[in-house]
């Protein structure tokens, strides 16, 4: 069974030969591992058995990217979304700090909303060649994109988007609509170019550790219609929907499923997303993708054993599970620990060994 067949079966709640596998890594993590003996040219996806690979496109607004100031520790720059941010050099040092933005008023929006329009030039790499490589390797090819809330705040501001949803929902709805148009329009361009995918993967953090960023009612009234439009579009074309969202999204999880979500990722443990409990509640309705506490991988081998052996044998029963840490693998995880974890996951996650 190749990777595409494996993930296809998992996304259909069928039992494959083993659980699916995928992970993301901080740049600092890979640098640490090179210092601990990992070959510099190692293909980590192939080495650690990744079964799927996302292929995205540039969703920016096409503003000129400009560095405004820089020192040894930070860089202030305006990005292609028109957002000015201070970023720290070295991913482990901090998240970007928003300073200013170009789109602030309705007039700004009217002037620049055309910048969201789909276009072939948004493919900044040879996507046909890339997808052909995935096809040859038998990997599950995923159409990756930022969903409307995540995309909107990238150019309008995070706090400002949340405030707008409460104070001017009609304007927020208009921006979400334009973002959804881009996502669907870019897929139609991809198809016209002869490209093919197996699934779609939306990225949108709509929750934090204490719950959703906005009320469940606001989700169902304002954002869910756009999710349903996008997800039903892909689901009806045989591309089941994966959803990436950090934080505790349990209060809106039933609505996400109703909107068309088939798999939820990364199931952040420190936000209360317990995959064993979720399996009991959503078996046969929701593929669980993740839920392995990356903090355990930073501990001892006993910590790793406990995390993996108490979760994976339970959530893999009957299919419907893909391994992933609950956050990108941080540089607190040693190369030795990660290899130990992957070997253990392969052992306990093989169905022939877990009848």
CATH number of the domain that 226 lies in?
3.20.20.210
Are 267 and 166 contained in the same domain? Answer: yes
Are 91 and 212 contained in the same domain? Answer: no
pLDDT digits (tens, 9 = 90+) for 205-226: 999 999 999 999 999 999 999 9
Are 189 and 74 contained in the same domain? Answer: no
Determine the average pLDDT of the residues in 259-275.
98
Are 132 and 233 contained in the same domain? Answer: yes
Give the CA distances from residue 310 to residues 264, 274, 282, in Å, rounded to whole numbers and listed in that order: 20, 11, 18
- pLDDT value at position 89? 79
Are 140 and 81 contained in the same domain? Answer: no
pLDDT digits (tens, 9 = 90+) for 118-176: 999 999 999 999 999 999 999 999 999 999 999 999 999 999 999 999 999 999 999 99
Are 184 and 84 contained in the same domain? Answer: no
Distance between CA atoms of 89 and 231, rounded to whole angstroms?
36
- pLDDT value at position 355? 40
Are 82 and 201 contained in the same domain? Answer: no
Are 96 and 132 contained in the same domain? Answer: no
Indicate the average pLDDT of the chain. 96
Of 102, 131, 166, the domain-final residue? 102
- 343 pLDDT tier (thresholds 50, 70, 90): very high
Return the HEC string of 178-230. Answer: HHHHHHHHHHHHHHHCCCCCCEEEEECCCEECCEECCCHHHHHHHHHHHHHHH
Are 70 and 136 contained in the same domain? Answer: no
Are 42 and 133 contained in the same domain? Answer: yes
Q: Which residues contact 103 (CB under 8 A, 6 or more apart)?
A: 61, 82, 109, 112, 155, 156
- Which range marks the domain in which residue 260 is found? 3-61+103-353
- 91 pLDDT tier (thresholds 50, 70, 90): low
Are 270 and 190 contained in the same domain? Answer: yes
Are 98 and 45 contained in the same domain? Answer: no
Quote the number of domains for the chain. Answer: 2
């Amino acid at each position: 069974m190749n990777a595409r067949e494996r993930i296809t079966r998992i996304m259909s709640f069928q039992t494959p030969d083993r659980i699916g596998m995928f992970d993301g890594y901080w740049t600092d993590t890979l640098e640490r591992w090179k210092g601990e003996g990992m070959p510099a040219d190692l293909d980590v996806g192939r080495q650690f058995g990744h079964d799927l690979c996302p292929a995205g496109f540039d969703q920016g607004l096409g503003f000129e990217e400009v560095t405004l100031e820089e020192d040894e520790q930070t860089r202030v720059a305006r990005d292609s979304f028109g957002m000015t941010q201070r970023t720290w050099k070295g991913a482990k040092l901090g998240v970007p700090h928003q300073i200013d933005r170009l789109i602030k008023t309705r007039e700004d929006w009217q002037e620049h909303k055309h910048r969201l329009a789909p276009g072939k030039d948004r493919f900044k790499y040879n996507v046909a060649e890339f997808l052909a490589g995935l096809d040859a390797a038998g990997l599950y090819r995923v159409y990756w994109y930022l969903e409307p809330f995540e995309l909107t705040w990238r150019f309008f501001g995070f706090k400002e988007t949340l405030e707008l949803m409460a104070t001017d929902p009609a304007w927020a709805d208009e921006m979400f609509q334009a973002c959804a148009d881009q996502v669907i329009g870019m897929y139609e361009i991809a198809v016209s170019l002869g490209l093919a995918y197996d699934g779609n993967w939306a990225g949108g953090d709509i929750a934090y550790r204490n719950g959703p960023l906005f009320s469940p009612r606001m989700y169902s009234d304002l954002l869910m219609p756009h999710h349903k439009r996008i997800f039903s579009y892909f689901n009806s074309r045989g591309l089941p929907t994966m959803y990436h969202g950090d934080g505790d999204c349990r209060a809106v999880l039933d609505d996400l499923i109703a909107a068309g979500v088939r798999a939820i990722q990364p199931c952040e443990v420190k936000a209360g997303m317990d995959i064993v409990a979720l399996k009991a509640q959503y078996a046969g309705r929701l593929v669980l993708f993740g839920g392995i506490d990356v903090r355990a991988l930073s501990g001892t081998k006993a910590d790793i054993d406990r995390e993996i052996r108490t979760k994976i044998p339970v959530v893999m029963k009957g299919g419907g599970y893909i391994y992933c840490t609950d956050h990108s693998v941080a540089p607190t995880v040693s190369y030795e620990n990660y290899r130990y974890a992957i070997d253990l996951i392969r052992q306990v996650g093989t169905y022939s060994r877990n009848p």
